[in-house]
Amino acid sequence: MKQEYNFSRRFFLKTSSALGALAFIPRGVKAFYEDVKNYIIPTKEQIPLKVSINKKSYAIKADTRTTLLDLLREDLNLTGAKKGCDHGQCGACTVHIDGQRVLSCLTLAATLPGKEVTTIEGLANGDQLHPMQEAFIQCDGFQCGYCTPGQIMSAVACVNEGHTKSVAEIKEFMSGNLCRCGAYNGIVESIQKVAAQ
Amino acid sequence: MGFFDEPFDFNIAAEGRVEGIAKVTGAGKYSAEYKVEGLCHAVLVGSTIAAGTIKSINVANAKQVAGVIDIITHLNKPLVPGLADEAKIKEARLGFAVFHTDKIYFKGQPIALVVAETFEDATYAASLITATYEKTEAKVDFKEASNAIPLTSAGKDRGNLSALDSAVQVVEQEYNIKAEVHNPMEMHATIAEWKAPDKLKLFDKNQGVNNVQRTFSKLFAIPVDNIEVISEFVGGGFGSGLRVWPHTLACIMAAKQLNRPVKLMLTRPQMFYSVGYRPAAWQKIKLAANSDGKFIGMHHQAKNGTSVYENFNEGITRVARLIYNFENLKTEAATVPLNLSTPTWMRGPGDCTGDFAIESAIDELSYKLNIDPVALRIKNLALDKNPESGLPWSTNYINECIEKGASMINWSNRKSTPSQLKEGDWSVGYGMAVGAWNAGRGTASAAIQMQRDGSITVQTAMTDIGTGTGISMQNIAHERTGIAKNKIKIELGNSNLPPAPSQGGSNGLSSIGGAVVSATEMLKSKLAEYAASQNDAYKGAAVNDILLSDTGISLKNANNLFISYASIWDKNKLDILEVEASSGPGAERQKYAFCSSAAHFCKVKVNVKTGKVKLERMVTVADGGKIISEKAAANQMSGAAVGGIGMALMEEQLVDEKLDSLVANDFAGYHFPVNADAPIIEVAFINKPDPNINPQGSKGLGEVGIIGTAAAIANAIYNATGKRLRDLPITPDKVLLA
Ligand code: FES
Ligand code: FES
């Protein structure tokens, strides 16, 4: 099964505009393009990067195709951000970049220099849990815990953004973070609790 | 190896789950997250046809990709002793043995595994692999294929169906449910490492480490103890982790071939055809009653989809024999082989599907009879004994669930005629349904290790898939020993720990609870034995008379006999005191029948212009025996209700008959409820212990939370609109077209 997501992102970026144009080109040409594509094996490129994560700076060499999520999980052993889809459809990989909630699976590592990334591992203040982390424990805002780091990063942003005026508003602004365990009761309660502080 | 391996020294006042800090800080390690030296990354390649034979696989392009180490196919796989010949493959009962056949049974079936230095390399190389096939005809259309399959009897007939002909009211209808997919948020993943030619270490996502251990011990012909399976944190399962699936074997084979640790995580699209799903189902119900509402009988027929390489029977009609008295009953079933992967148990397996049809039919009957659906159910409940086995229920408070739920939702506000309540473009209605589940128990073991300072660690191999097993074990140990909760550590999800059944079928806590109780009793006796050397009064002391505290042991009514742990440790030169106990079901299973049950009530709003259904309120009341951990139990119930909302309104695995395949198999195409799709779920428990099921008196809750939810919602939609919808999911188009 040849599916788009299976192609390298770099390759996809390079060729997507060409592909767009191909939509208007006769079938034979498209097939030819498909053939050619299989014979050009792009060599992988690694670029030196300086990134700042949880206020710690890292000088690394990263594959140009590497997402922030894979950089965190595979290269830096910061596995708090979760991979739930790798497609920007679930929110499990939510981190903060310069204070804004962002899907790390849709963010290329190469775009990070000059920005500050905060992951769930950087949320607590020393040995003091972030109030949202405490609230999630108290309100049992999780079951399996896999969506939880993403929920908490989104929840912190949701409060900062001021979208906590009603249960309906919290639910709306937390709907980019799926929880298959359905721990939504506790998630909403946690946010209400922190918003009220 | 436990939750506390990483030093967590957060100042935390909050009381929560034992693994709470690990989960909210991101420190807890799920299976793909362990750091393993020399790890390489694997990506599966699936077939592009649904039926036929592989002619050739072109891996040449993929091999050129920098970083690629090897590509495994059926042509170059390593030897797996348990799959060495056709007979052994059959015996292994794996469904299909990955890379051991050139036959294709469904689209997406793994045909190759690329292993590379990085995930990016492997993913890119996988995209370059192509294959040629000899195609044969594929069947993926459940509806079309099921017509040709005859029904056969599913259980003993009761009475005679001809009695239904004399009934005053009869409902005879068909019900259809589309396939649903578990989709736990953590995609299934394995890290396999061969520590020696006959020693295997697995970090694996599953619901039962001992099951995984046994399976690979047989396949690789190595002793069970040579396989360590670690599943400390499991990112949900809902049934998908109860079997051992092809990708795990593929990963282990790759690790063997390369003699390097290999990590394989399924992609989300692969999750839809790699680890089971709730099969599509057709049902027909004929339900008959007297004018006073007494059920005369039921005819329940059901078919569910399965794969062409394995027969999976859901047991859809099982629930027909659990909740109500039917003097006359006939159940029939069939499975429909399709060129799709094999389905498996998904939360409330079988019963969830069957219950939807029965509870919808009862609702329909209630309108015909003009009897309140609550009253109609109460009248027909099999309250004293299991209608099938005839054994008396140990406990069954389903009637109390119904009464409590009705009062919580203000059932009296419901109109007995449909489409009476309007709010602008919205029609408002109330609905209810019940569910039940045979409450089981398996044999499990637990160990307790005590330190000189009186702190204990309770251990079991059982996994906690989010159900709250850990916190419940802590609660039971605390209640039985009196030792403070912050001095009780829990370790689980590791096959080196005392064995336990898989976490599934609502059996987890029911099974492990007894083992924890037994272990605490052993601990008490053991301590008393040591204490007896200091004071004779402890000799042969009864377990119930032995009291433990944070610092020492004493005897009931004899507090002055306090002996500190420290002195016991010192006198006996103890390092750690360790006990291990097993506990399981016994003779009570011959005397009683056991069930958990729940009643679900909801208030819905249906938009008459768009067909959108909104849950205004959802109330769920359960009889789960004694509730061990209130918050975790409520979380289970509300989470299951959310799952039920998905089943009722949105979950549907689309299958395209022209492409012979699943389509829209990702979270953009497959919808389950997001936060805004669910109201705050209101949960209550009857909370009366079952004195016979296990020592702690708790009955499992995982399944009953979802069994009946979909029917309650469909019934409420009828009450709101007068539209009876018998096909799930009830999407807006169906509402508008009805
Ligand atoms: S993993 Fe990034 S949104 Fe799902
Ligand atoms: S807690 Fe399991 S997915 Fe949210």
CATH number of the structural domain spanning residue A170? 1.10.150.120
A175: closest CA of chain B, how far (Å) = 5
Interface contact B46-A1, CB threshold 8 A? yes
CB of A180 sitting under 6 A from ligand 2: yes
Q: Kindly state whether residue A192 falls inside one of the protein's structural domains.
A: yes
| Predicted pLDDT at B199 | 98
Least CA distance to B664: which residue of chain A?
A: A3
Decide if B44 touches A, using CB distance below 8 A: no
Q: Ligand 2 center to residue B120 CA distance, Å?
A: 27
B120/A44 Cβ within 8 A: yes
In short, whether B695's Cβ falls inside 6 Å of ligand 2 is no
pLDDT at B195 over 50: yes
Nearest to B35 among A66, A77, A143 (CB): A77
- A142 touches A193 (CB < 8 A): no
Q: Considering chain B, what percentage of its residues have pLDDT values greater than 70?
A: 98
Residue B220 in tokens: 């690789």
Mean pLDDT of B303-332: 98
Query: Domain of A72?
Result: 46-122
CA torsion angle B638 B642 B643 B646 (round to 10): 170
Calculate the dihedral angle through the C-alpha atoms of B611, B614, B619, B623, rounding to the nearest 10 degrees.
60
Taking CA atoms, what residue in B is nearest to A40? B61
Q: Is B44 helix (H, G, I), strand (E, B) or coil?
A: strand
The last residue of a domain, from among A122, A155, A176: A122
ipTM of this predicted structure: 0.96
DSSP conformation class of B467: S
Is residue A170 assigned to a domain?
yes
Residue type, B294: K
Q: Which residue of B has its CA nearest to A66?
A: B120
Report whether pLDDT(A15) > 90. no
Residue A57 lies in a domain: yes
Contact at CB, A6 and B676, closer than 8 angstroms: no
Task: Tell me the per-residue pLDDT of B369-390, one tens digit each, with 9 for 90 and over.
Answer: 999 999 999 999 999 999 999 9
- Which whole-number Å values give the CA distances from B539 to B525, B535, B561, in the listed order? 10, 8, 12
C-alpha B460/C-alpha B1 separation (Å) is: 12
Nearest CA in chain A to B630: A140
What is the structure's pLDDT at A19?
47
Model confidence at A145: pLDDT above 90: yes
Contact yes or no for B185 and A180 at CB 8 A: yes
Closest ligand 1 atom to the C-alpha of A105? 2
Question: Is A145 within 8 Å of B25 when comparing Cβ atoms?
Answer: no
Residues A118 and A138 in one domain: no
Ligand 2 binding pocket includes A69 (Cβ within 6 Å): no
Print burial letters for B544-559: b (CB count within 10 Å at least 16), e (below 16): eebbbbeebbbbeeee
- Count of structural domains within chain A: 3
Atom of ligand 1 nearest to the CA of A106: 2
Predicted confidence (pLDDT) at residue A28 exceeds the cutoff of 80: no
Contacts of A121 in chain B (CB under 8 A): 25-27
Q: Which of A92, A122, A152 is the last residue of a domain?
A: A122
| Statement to judge: residues A55 and A77 lie in one domain | yes
Among B650, B656, B643, residue whose Cα is nearest residue B671: B650
Chain A nearest CA to B722, separation (Å): 28
Write out residues 245-274 of B within 8 Å (CB-CB) of A. Answer: 265, 267-269
pLDDT of residue B527: 96
B231-257 pLDDT tens trace: 999 999 999 999 999 999 999 999 999
- Ligand 2 centre to CA of A7 (Å) is 29
From A128-132, B330-334, B535-539, the region with the lowest mean pLDDT: B535-539
Q: Is residue A3 situated within a structural domain?
A: no
Cβ-defined contact of A82 to B186 (cutoff 8 Å): yes
Mean pLDDT lowest among A42-46, B530-534, B555-559, B601-605: B555-559
Residues A115 and A141 in one domain: no
Residues A111, A50 share a domain? yes
* Minimum CA–CA partner of A85 in chain B: B268
What span, in angstroms and rounded, lies between the C-alpha atoms of B293 and B247? 52
Question: A51 C-alpha to center of ligand 1: Å?
Answer: 21
Say yes or no to pLDDT of A23 above 70: no
A20 burial level (CB within 10 Å; 0-12, 13-18, 19+): exposed
**Domain membership flag for residue A101:** yes
Q: Which ligand is nearest to the CA of A85?
A: 1
Query: To the nearest 10°, the Cα dihedral for B307, B308, B309, B310?
Result: 50
Phi, psi values for residue B459, rounded to 5°? -125, 145
- Number of A/B CB contacts below 8 angstroms equals 237
Q: Which atom of ligand 1 is nearest to the CA of A94?
A: 2
Q: How confident is the model at residue A26 (pLDDT cuts 50, 70, 90)?
A: low
B269 and A5 in contact by Cβ < 8 A? Answer: yes
B374 touches chain A (CB under 8 A): no
Q: Do A82 and B30 touch (CB under 8 A)?
A: yes
Q: Please enumerate in sequence order all residues whose Cβ is within 8 A of that of B625, keeping only pairs 6 or more positions apart, or say none.
A: B395, B439, B596, B688, B689, B690, B693, B697, B698, B699
Residue B2: pLDDT above 90? no
Nearest chain A Cα to B666, which residue?
A85
Instruction: Say if B22 is an interface residue toward chain A (CB within 8 Å).
Output: yes
Quote the percentage of chain B above a pLDDT of 90.
96
Average pLDDT over residues B627-652: 97
Predicted local confidence at residue A24, as pLDDT:
58
Tell if the CB–CB gap between B29 and A90 is shorter than 8 Å. Answer: no
Best of A108, A147, A180 to disrupt the B interface (most B CBs within 10 Å) is A180
Q: Residue B633 has which token pair?
A: 């139990």
Q: Which domains does chain B have, with CATH numbers?
A: 34-137+191-236+241-274 (3.90.1170.50), 281-440+590-737 (3.30.365.10), 441-584 (3.30.365.10)
Residue A1 domain-assigned (yes or no): no
Q: Is B43 helix (H, G, I), strand (E, B) or coil?
A: strand
pLDDT at A4 over 50: no
Residue B561: pLDDT above 80? yes
Type of residue at B614? K
CB < 8 Å from B in window 131-150 of A: 133-134, 136-138, 140, 142-149
Residue A4 covered by a domain: no
Window 10-69 of A: residues touching B by CB (8 A cutoff) are 11, 38-39, 41, 43-44, 63, 65-66
Q: Are B205 and B265 in contact (CB under 8 A)?
A: no
- Residue A146 beta carbon below 6 angstroms from any ligand 2 atom: yes
Query: Where does the pLDDT of residue B7 fall: very low under 50, low under 70, confident under 90, or very high at 90 and above?
Result: very low
Q: How many other CB atoms sit within 10 Å of the CB of residue B317?
A: 27
- Would you say B511 and B525 are in contact if contact means Cβ atoms under 8 Å apart? no
Whether A145 sits inside 8 A of B130 (CB atoms) is: no
- Model pLDDT, residue B4: 37
Domain-embedded: residue A171: yes
Beta bridge partners of A63: A46
Chain A residues inside the 8 Å CB shell of B26: 78-81, 119-121, 149
> For ligand 1, which residues put their CB under 6 angstroms from it?
A 83-86, 88-93, 103, 105
Instruction: With a cut of 50, say whether residue B10 has pLDDT above it.
Output: no
Are residue A111 and residue A162 in the same domain, yes or no? no
- Based on the fold, state whether residues A143 and A177 are members of the same structural domain: yes
Select from A122, A153, A181 the last residue of a domain. Answer: A122
**Can you tell me the mean pLDDT for A72-89?**
98
A115 shares a domain with A56: yes
- Based on the fold, state whether residues A110 and A88 are members of the same structural domain: yes
Do A23 and A53 lie in one domain? The reply is: no
Residue A136 and residue A185 share a domain? yes
A111 lies in the same domain as A148 = no
Residue A138 has pLDDT above 70, yes or no: yes
